[in-house]
Structure 1
Amino acid sequence: MQETGTGQEAFPAAGGGDVDVLVIGGGQAGLAAGYYLNRLRRDEASGRSGPAPSFAILHANREPGGAWQDYWASLELFSPAAYSSLPGYQMPAWTGQGNPAAGHVTEYLSRYEARYDLRVYRSVRATAVHAAADGEYITDTTRGRWTSRAVISATGTWNTPYLPQLPGAELFEGRQLHTADYRGADPFAGLNVVVVGGGNSGAQIAADLAPAASVTWVTRKPPRYLPDDVDGRELFRIATRHVRALAAGEPSPGTAASLGDIVAVPPVREARDAGLLQARPMFSRFLPNGVEWENGEQSAADVILWCTGFRPGLAHLQPLSLRTRNGAPATEPPPATRSADSRGLFFLGYGDWCGPASATLIGVGAAARETVAAAASAAAAHPVGSPRP
């Protein structure tokens, strides 16, 4: 059964297999990890290093591109193509207006995967990771069982949206959707839409909807726009400077959060300047046909669109009974985000707790390099197939 990429190995007849390092997730973080694992293999072939770990990447989706293939068409990157690339291969130039659109990123990730002939196995969802007594990991999937000495969890957050619960939600007769459900403005034409969320997704979707729908944008606190000249390059620079200062025991020079919460990409900037992004405070409860504020004012609503973020998709790790800190698994500090409870388990690409800007195209490369080095070291301590202690 041929999977993807020129020369990609077929599945064993029964599915699953044995590898040194198993990467769970084939989006941008998983591909960045694959790049560095593949480079270890090239270094071994050229005699520049010792044996490289065997590896496989499991991807739940049928097509390449990770979550980017599910984003709305008008979504664009915070930075130009030249500053939005994974390690080793620069994103091709974008010829449209503004910064690259989501579809351009999906195509880039597909090319990236093929360029490096990465071992990506598709339509394979990891359902449970178990720690065996001999230090191996047993990963059950929808298409067989995998054994490995190290696991890099890179499943992202897209499939675990967060929806707050407010009084009266069960009475609301309209639709409640999330950022993950949004594909464009056309289905909402002429409707009353309440967009909830003061981050980038909330601002971008409210701006996208404004010409087609009657939009009420609500946020828990007044929206804070970053300076108009701040883009993804500057955000990554700020995040890196912050982490390096802390690692050196120096005071932080500040984080991007000190500047604002919303990157003023051109569509957001245009809607803001046209007066179309007038945020209101959060409503207090649902009504059957709308929402109500603390002061008793009511507004009609056909749709509530929650742009309230995501949580790490880590259900496959429940059998490991990992501790949590501040809502995330307990880990050793970056750059290689190793589990504090399971020495061969690593996290990549979920957010800044996995390395500065590690949830972005430009930022995940550095975290992936360190994570792969640590995972390869863990696997080398007892490669799959070696005699048991």
Structure 2
Amino acid sequence: MLNTRHPVIVIGAGQSGLAAAHALRGARLPFFVMEASDEAVGSWPRYYDSLALFSPAWFSALPGARFPGDGGRYPRRDEVVAYLRAYAERFNGEVRYGRRVESVKTAPGGGFTVRTEDGSEDEASAVIAANGYFGNPYRPELPGATEFAGTVLHSSEYRTPDAFEGQRVVVVGGGNSAMQIAADLAGVARVSLASRAPLRWQAQRIAGKDLHWWLTRTGIDSAPIGRWLGGKSMPIIDDGRYRAALESGNPDHRKLFSRLHEDGVEWPGGEREHLDAIVLATGYRPDMGYLAGTGALDAEGLPLQRAGISTTVRGLGYVGLEYQRNNASASVRGVGRDAAYVVGKLRRQRGRP
């Protein structure tokens, strides 16, 4: 049985941490949330300016608070930030800001010791890791990358197309963010979208209804099938504008280049051309180095877990992992369900019904 004298500590106060806080309050478990920054909005303010959700506001809310305004619209980045700020107000007394977690250690009698960068330590009966991926962008090794003298940045560093006006740019990736950034850049630059695999497409509306209406109505969105989905590329959700953009020729889509040179790129088949910049829309990996030494991570730093519950460390849970339980696990619309499930499991580990 876990130590019931100590609270549950949630790491991260973005969408996943806030969903966990909601579930813990509903379960009447004492808790507090450790947030590295000075506000509870996660990584949203640092995403690119043109980012818009692919799910309507109706399907983009955390538990207990509908997304304001027209439910059929697709909220933009700053609207999500405002929504999270308002949602976080209900947990003002339970979110501790400016507390970046440095390490989590298991305690001999059960539970954990959570240490922050300022040297303070707190005891916890259980820990929920909910700090997301943004702090660990994935940068694949590209042949010739060390020779290339142009600009290379990850999508986490991309904000607006302004700095790329008149340039030749390649966006590496084949998902929604890659396509959205490529289309954004095409207004000022000559752009190619380069991916290893063919692009996959999903219509945003089917028979007059948004895709997420169908996913919800059929139960697919909440079906516990995460382990079968993990590792599979997701299709680009399109209302027609992105395929039309590719048909216009800017951006165009190409198979990933063979290698980079000092001032350019070499495509399969040997064609070479000048290149100014590369944007890596290649995703992220879990940012949970603070769990090193607990036995919670594999050799690549990935959590050893099933449906958000650690398979190696009792009392440790996760919220917000991609495909944790289903297709929506890492999204605003999906973290609430997963948080409730994980809190229920941890509650039983504490010896409560």
Q: TM-score, normalised by structure 1?
A: 0.80
Quick check: 1:207–1:267 contact (8 Å CA) kept in 2?
no
2:32 to 42, 49, 56: 56
Structure 1 CA distance for aligned equivalents of residues 289 and 186 of structure 2: 36
1:357 matched to 2:331? The reply is: no
Q: 1:129 to 1:64 in 2, by over 3 A?
A: same
Residue aligning to 2:287: 313
Aligned to 2:338: 367
In structure 2, do the counterparts of structure 1 residues 118 and 112 end up closer, same or farther at CA, with 3 Å as the change threshold? farther
- Indicate whether 1:37 and 2:24 are aligned: yes
* Aligned-partner Cα distance in 1 for 2:179–2:186: 11
Deviations 1:235-256 (A, max 9, x none): 8539953874869xxxx9x979
Q: Which secondary structure state, in structure 1, belongs to the residue aligned with residue 236 of structure 2?
A: coil
| Stretches of structure 1 lacking an aligned partner (at least 5 in a row) | 1-17, 41-51, 382-389
Aligned match of 2:96 in 109, 118, 121? 121
What are the within-5 Å matches in structure 2 for residues 164-183 of structure 1?
164-183=140-159
1:321 is displaced (CA, Å) by: 2.5
2:311 corresponds, among 298, 320, 340, to: 340
1:21 aligns with 2:8: yes
What corresponds to 2:302 in structure 1? 328
Q: How far apart in 1 are the matches of 2:231 and 2:297? A: 27
1:26–1:120 contact (8 Å) kept in structure 2? yes
Aligned counterpart in structure 1 of residue 50 of structure 2, from 55, 67, 74: 74
Verify the 8 A CA contact 2:297 2:303 in the aligned structure 1.
yes
What letter corresponds to residue 111 of structure 1 in structure 2? A
- Structure 1's consecutive aligned runs of 4 or more residues displaced over 6 angstroms after TM superposition are 254-259
Residues 64, 106 of structure 1: 8 Å contact kept: no
Distance in 2, matches of 1:31 and 1:260, equals 26
Query: Match of 1:280, as an amino acid?
Result: R
- Residue 300 of structure 1 is matched in structure 2 by 274
CA contact (8 A) 2:190 2:251 kept: no
CA offsets 1:1-39 (integer angstroms, 9 cap, x no match): xxxxxxxxxxxxxxxxx8420000111010001111222
Are the aligned partners of 1:158 and 1:180 in contact in 2 as well (CA < 8 Å)? yes
Alpha carbons 2:221, 2:326 under 8 Å: kept: no
Equivalent residue in structure 2 for 1:261, among 213, 231, 235 = 235
**Distance between the aligned counterparts of 2:109 and 2:194, measured in 1?**
52
| SS of match in other structure, 1:172 | coil
Q: Larger % of strand: which?
A: 2
Q: Which residue of 2 aligns with 1:185?
A: 161
CA distance in 1, matches of 2:224, 2:317: 24
Shift of 1:201: 0.9
RMSD after superposition: 2.9
Find the residue that maps to 1:63 and give its secondary structure. Answer: coil
Greater Cα offset, 118-127 or 29-38: 118-127
1:152 aligned partner, one-letter code: I
- Residue equivalent to 1:283: 257
Q: 1:20 touches 1:379 (CA, 8 Å); kept in 2?
A: no
Deviation at 1:98?
Answer: 5.2
Question: Are residues 211 and 235 of structure 1, via their aligned partners in 2, closer, same or farther at CA, if it must alter by over 3 Å?
Answer: farther
Say which SS state the counterpart of residue 320 (structure 1) adopts.
coil
Deviation of 1:218 after TM superposition, in Å, equals: 0.7
Paired residues in the alignment total 344
> Which segment drifts farther, 213-222 or 351-360?
351-360
* TM norm structure 2: 0.88
Letter in 1 for 2:303: P
Structure 2 gaps, min length 5 = none
Is residue 60–residue 122 contact of structure 1 (8 Å, CA) maintained in 2?
Answer: yes
What is the CA-CA distance between 1:116 and the residue it aligns to? 4.6
